[in-house]
Each structure stands twice: as C-alpha cells, then as structure tokens.
Amino acid sequence: MEVVAVVNDSDPIYALSTPYGRSALCIIRVTGASLPKGFLEYVGLVDEKKGVFVRSLVNEGFKDSCVVLNFPAPDSFTGEHIVEIQPHGNPVLVKKIMDVLESFGLRKAEAGEFAKRSYLNNKISIQEAESIMVTVEAESFEQLNALNDFKEGGLAGRVNKIAEDLRSVLIEIESQLDFSDEGDVNLVETDSIEKQIHVSEENLMQLLVDYAPYEKEETRGRVVLAGKPNVGKSSLFNALVGADVAIVSDEAGTTRDVVRKNIVIEGVEYQIEDTAGIREAKGVIEEKGIAKTSEAIASSDLTLRVFDNISEISGAKTNKNELLVLNKSDLLDKAKLDGFLSVSAITGDGISSLKEKIRKLIDVPYERKLVSERVFDKLEESAQVLSSKASGSDVLELRAQQLRDVLNNLNEITGGIDNEEILGEIFSKFCIGK
C-alpha cells in the first residue's frame, strides 16, 4: 500500500532555534498538542505551571544545569504546550539532547513549523507570521523600520477597506443580474458600478506606489575604490577590510583585477572592491582590468575616488554616489586638510570616520514601506485584474467574476488561508525553529 506523507500539525516537534555551533548558551524549542511523559520527566516539568525553571539535564552521566521555560497550552506562541531548553552551546551536548528528544518520539521541525502552528491556532495573523520572517531576514535598520507598517497591520487596514468596497460592488452587480432580464443591462447602473470599481483600482494602484516588496539585497552596499595609480587604493582597501588582501606596490598598475571583500559596519555588511584604477592601459591584462573598473563603478552604490594630493582633489567635481577621499594624510600638511575627508591608509587615521560616512551614504531610509514579496505580488495581480476592461453583453457577469478573483487575492493577503499548498509555500521560507 502506498503511504502518503501527511503533515501532522500537532505532533510533538523540536528545533534548535539558535545557530548550530559553539556558544555560551543555545535554545532548543519543543512544541506539541501534548508532549510525551518521558520528555516532561527528562526536563522535570511533569504537571508544572507556566514559568522559568532551573533543571539539571543528565546525558551520558554528564549533568548540565540549564534554564528551562514552560508554556503550557494554550498560553504559548503556538497555542500548544511549548518547552524551551537553554543548555550550554556545546555541539556535542546539543546533538545528544536532540537524540534524546527523538528517543521520546519528537521529530525535527520543518522550516516555519512553529509559526505555522501559531497561525493555524489563531495566535498570529498571516501577515504577522510573514513579518516575523522578514524581520529575521532584514539586513539593516532601514529595512526593519520600513517593515514596521506591514508588521503593525497598516497595509492590512487599507486592503480590508478596498475589499469591503469591492464586496459591496459585487453585491450590487449580483442583484442587478438577478433582477434584470437577460441581456438587458441598465446602462446607468453599469456606469455607476464601473466608477466604483475605478475608485478601488486607484486605491490599489496607490498601494503599489506606497509599498515595495522586501527582497534580499545582494547588490546593496557595494563600495568601489577608484583613482589614479599609486594614490593608495589597495592600501586603503586593506585598511578598510583589515587584512592584506590586495597587492600593494610602488609600481603603478599592479592591481590588475577587481579584488572584493566584505566588511561589517555597525552590523551591516558592505562589499568593498579594489579596482585597477582608471589610467591609460599599457598591456592587454591591464586593459581588461580597466574595463572591469568601469563596470564596477557603474554598478556600485558608492564610489570612493581616492586622491593623494590637495591640488587635484580641490579641482575634482563630485558626481552622484561619489565620495572624494584624500589619502596619505600623514605625508600632507595638516593645516591644509580642513574640509577634506582625509585618511591615512598607513597610520589608520580617519578610517573609522570614513566607514561611518560610507554607512550614512548607503543606508538612506526607504521611501516606500516594505511588505513580503508574496503580498506585493497579490497586490499587483489584483490591480491587474481590476484594470482589465470588460465589455460586451455579459459585461456584468465578467465583472462579477473578476471581483470574486480579486477578493480571493486580497483575502490571501490579510488571512483566511487554509489551502495547505499556499501555507506550505509561505512557511517553508522561514528559518528552522521559527
């Protein structure tokens, strides 16, 4: 007999909610409609109420004293009984505890299974679930702030209003269809219906202007170093990344290719690229390097144009997304450095203020609020359906069907999803243990 795998949405599951590796502490989360007695004995929580406990877990004769949190149903994130174990973050110990949990019949959670149960047990709405996911993924405070509206239900409020308006138009159309003779459509009524639909269409279009889909920004934060040979680009690159990665030499034209490295400024990752520099090419290899420089500059978020003398930097014009940097400040007259962003790649002077400037220039606040990609796609689809014009004798039937489709779409933004496939799609994007 063929066995069909069915996702059980209430059996006992566990997940390591913190990254696997060595750390002071880690969190192993357990949830289930009912948790096995053997497990509750192991963590010393048989018949315990909600609370924080210190328990000694014994594994292979080794006793680890750890904090255990108990959230009996229904007062928990998933609505089920949740236990959080916080042992020391030793991979051997963590692996052992996970084996023990499996011996009690617990299975490893799928990605997003905790959040999915939370949704299925009416603890969180679908958009709260999705905003948890993007909050974990967001890469800067600017993104986190742009997600606030989505998280707090601002979008849901506007979507619900549009859905409400469209629902009353749909009722109006349906009553028209009921009462009019076949093919005999009242033109005045049709006109008023079209006007109402048009208002909703405009409201939806406005959402597409006010919101943008959250996307992992792989290209965000690309900083390119450019300038004449020997101004100290490679040295500055090394000073920024804090390692001798690029080749530094007195000879002009030694950086023949683009060298990339990531640096983290206040928790945000930026990619720094050292280039061959813009100069007259003397060899084929260098020519290729120069072509790559132009490419790198064109696609970067910020170009640091490096100079090593005051007269040249004074005459230079700044373009958009460019920062003029005066290097070798240790060799220059200190009295003349005022008004320039001066650094010394050799002594490290000014490097931290340069990093600070990079952060401020790249991390501009978002003009549009962010929502999950799925939600944005639904908004786009809905707007598209509403804007496609229906005509002919069965115009009202067509309109009614379009409105039903749009209402379904909008409903999938704010909740009410019970389709296992759609739920799977949403929650599989989550982290394990969330």
Q: State the residues that interact with ligand GDP by CB under 6 A.
A: 229-235, 248-250, 255, 277, 327-328, 330-331, 344-346
CB of 273 to ligand GDP, least distance (A): 12
Compare residues 27 and 310 and give the one whose CB is closer to ligand GDP: 310
CB of 272 to ligand GDP, least distance (A): 13
Query: Distance between CA 123 and CA 76 in Å, rounded?
Result: 8
Sorted by sequence, the CB contacts under 8 Å of residue 230 that are 6+ apart come out as: 250, 252, 308
Sorted by sequence, the CB contacts under 8 Å of residue 23 that are 6+ apart come out as: 89
Compare residues 32 and 227 and give the one whose CB is closer to ligand GDP: 227
Compare residues 230 and 414 and give the one whose CB is closer to ligand GDP: 230
Compare residues 170 and 325 and give the one whose CB is closer to ligand GDP: 325
Query: Distance between CA 53 and CA 45 in Å, rounded?
Result: 9
Strand partners, 95: none
CB of 85 to ligand GDP, least distance (A): 52
CB of 275 to ligand GDP, least distance (A): 9
DSSP percent split of the chain into helix, strand, coil, nearest 5: 45, 20, 35
CB of 299 to ligand GDP, least distance (A): 20
- 150's tokens: 């989505």
CB of 316 to ligand GDP, least distance (A): 16
Strand partners, 23: 89
Query: Distance between CA 179 and CA 151 in Å, rounded?
Result: 44
CB of 328 to ligand GDP, least distance (A): 4
CB of 234 to ligand GDP, least distance (A): 3
Greatest CA separation for the chain:
92
- 81's tokens: 């009984």
Query: Distance between CA 241 and CA 232 in Å, rounded?
Result: 14
Compare residues 22 and 282 and give the one whose CB is closer to ligand GDP: 282
Compare residues 248 and 362 and give the one whose CB is closer to ligand GDP: 248
Compare residues 189 and 330 and give the one whose CB is closer to ligand GDP: 330
Q: By the 8 A CB rule, do 392 and 203 touch?
A: no
Alpha helices in 138-283, H assignment, sequence order: 141-146, 148-151, 154-179, 187-210, 233-241
Compare residues 37 and 282 and give the one whose CB is closer to ligand GDP: 282
Helix or strand holding residue 55 (H, E): strand 51-59
Dihedral angle at the C-alpha atoms of 119, 121, 123, 126, nearest 10 degrees?
Answer: 20
Q: Which residue is nearest to ligand GDP (CB)?
A: 232
What is the length of the chain?
434
CB of 324 to ligand GDP, least distance (A): 15
Compare residues 337 and 432 and give the one whose CB is closer to ligand GDP: 337
Dihedral angle at the C-alpha atoms of 106, 108, 111, 117, nearest 10 degrees?
Answer: 0
Query: Distance between CA 201 and CA 169 in Å, rounded?
Result: 12
Nearest residue to 240 (alpha-carbon basis) of 217, 275, 270: 270
Query: Distance between CA 267 and CA 279 in Å, rounded?
Result: 35
CB of 312 to ligand GDP, least distance (A): 13
Query: Distance between CA 256 and CA 274 in Å, rounded?
Result: 10
Compare residues 345 and 383 and give the one whose CB is closer to ligand GDP: 345
